[in-house]
Structure 1
Amino acid sequence: MNIYDVSKQAGVSIATVSRVINGNPNVSDRTRKKVLAVMEELGYTPNVFARGLGLNTMKTIGIMCSDASDLYLANAISYLERELRANEYDAILCCTGYNLENKKKYLELLLSKRVDGVIMAGSKFIESTREDNEYILNAARQVPVMLVNGRLEGKNIYSILCDDYTAVYQAVTKLIRSGRRRILYLYTSVSYSGNNKRRGYQNASMDAGLGNLENMIYQCPKDIAYSRDLLSDLYRQGLKFDAVMTSDDTLAVGALKFAASAGLKVPEDLSIIGYNNSLLSRASEPELTSVDTKIEALCTTTISTLMSVFNGGKNVPNWITISAELIKRYTTDF
């Protein structure tokens, strides 16, 4: 079944069928309904690529994420796709992993599909050198590139950021004001977001007169058992700490498990703050105090900004920062 069959059955020209498919307004309602009825009767579905050529748009956005099983990224993908559907755009999702060559390969794949824009969810797509980021800068010469909680300066690149630095700074300051002086910091990555979180911890400690507590900072995988065992080892080695600030709720749950195994009361003996306000923060016992990074707001702002770019909006900002919120539950006593 093809466009010629539709044309013959509807008694109209091929050009008229094409105009109906492409949403051209220069078709009467009566003719449009007739053509659509014939398409439905014959079970004809227009070729998406051909339609895209006619409209000069595929109405499709590429989404890249490093790991769709990650709770934060899974939520981001859900919100992004919801907003794209609301704006009548489809999505192609690529889970790239963390290898730079794979990221480049998947971005090239999306561009070959003639997507109208690319969204990179998470800050781990931004590398430490401009040379390694060149593949993103090159892509932005063809389509808008949206970075969800990542920052890269360049034409046609738009960053929607959570203020991770201030969020951690304020959370650590609250711990200090509640009487905590030996605050461990557990983090997962040295990405743009990860570096801002770490700086927030360090500066809050320094500003409170606690010094540069380098021996209180530990990087570990995003794994509950690993963070639990790490804290257990540090505790057995005699390291004293009365609070744990983490860069992700997963590590905070590990801290809760450590406290239970060590016979420590939470929050009396050990205060714990997670990050991302994920399902884990509410499923744990006790429920975790956690930083809400406003992932839904980040994603809705990303799509609204992208639509503004498509619509030729003037002075669309290249970066927008959204404030986080500390959600107080039962693992802190402030």
Structure 2
Amino acid sequence: MFTYTDRQNEVTVKTLHTMSRSRLLSPRCVILIFIGCVSICVVWRLKGRMLDQTLDYFLSRAEIGRRDAAEVTWSHATNSRSVLSAALTGRTHMIEADIIMRGRDPREPIMAHPPEMDSDITLREWLEGIGTHSKGIKLDFKSLEAVAPSMVLLEEVWGESERPVWINADILPGPGGKASPLEPSAFLAAVRAFSSHAVLSLGWTTGWMPDTDNPGYSWDMVREMDQVCRNLSHPVSFPVRAALLAQSFPQLKWLLQQSDRYTLTVWTGQNDKFPVEDLLPYREAFDKSRIYYDLPDSQRTQLSLTLGDHN
């Protein structure tokens, strides 16, 4: 199929050929024109692709002091009215909650983590409860059934908001993972129409066992993830398990190098054990704006102290 870009390239080549035969332009001018044409083609191909604007939002409100993703703080499992109220009055920047479909009538998206099948707050009430607060949100989907109706509600309640919106799901099997991931194409089909400013947080199912040689993220895993994400227009953050990072550095470094739309979000399981020093190679290899740390307060404090020692 003859595309618009092909036509651009054909015109560019013919133009350069004509100019090179003319005595009006020097070879240097021809080279500069060629570079300009190539730059236009690159911009055209990248048109519509968004970078993560989370840090810009919090910087604009003076809620963080620099473009350092380590400064962003997260709540966890904000799945009830009381936990949401505490998160809204605290210093947390991003409020994370889990979404499933209620296990009884009326069937609607609610804030709960399996095996729980009910909650005292629905997604609509949760979104409306955040109201005019400046917090960002991260919606963690635990069932594919809940995604489409949740996107309708999100568009209705928050469609015009400039606040950060992250949409999370495990879509591929990962190291030690036993849970079933959400089917990638079905999940992306349901969320891709939402604002291109939204960050898609796309991860792998994982597991971790103490006193065991736990495998890291393999080359096949990161290459498959890049294949899924490379043509998306949204910014993408990959949630990665902190206890698996030391054995995964070459693979995850390669993955981040594939697009400036990609970031990492480091998280940990409740009983995981790992030295904070395992996180430093990522911090040193990439711009500080590209590595988020969604960690418990104790580990965030330890990380801050460790980073202070290395600054």
Q: TM-score range by the shorter chain?
A: under 0.3
Work out which of the two has the higher radius of gyration on C-alpha atoms and give 1 or 2: 1
TM-score, L = length of structure 1: 0.27
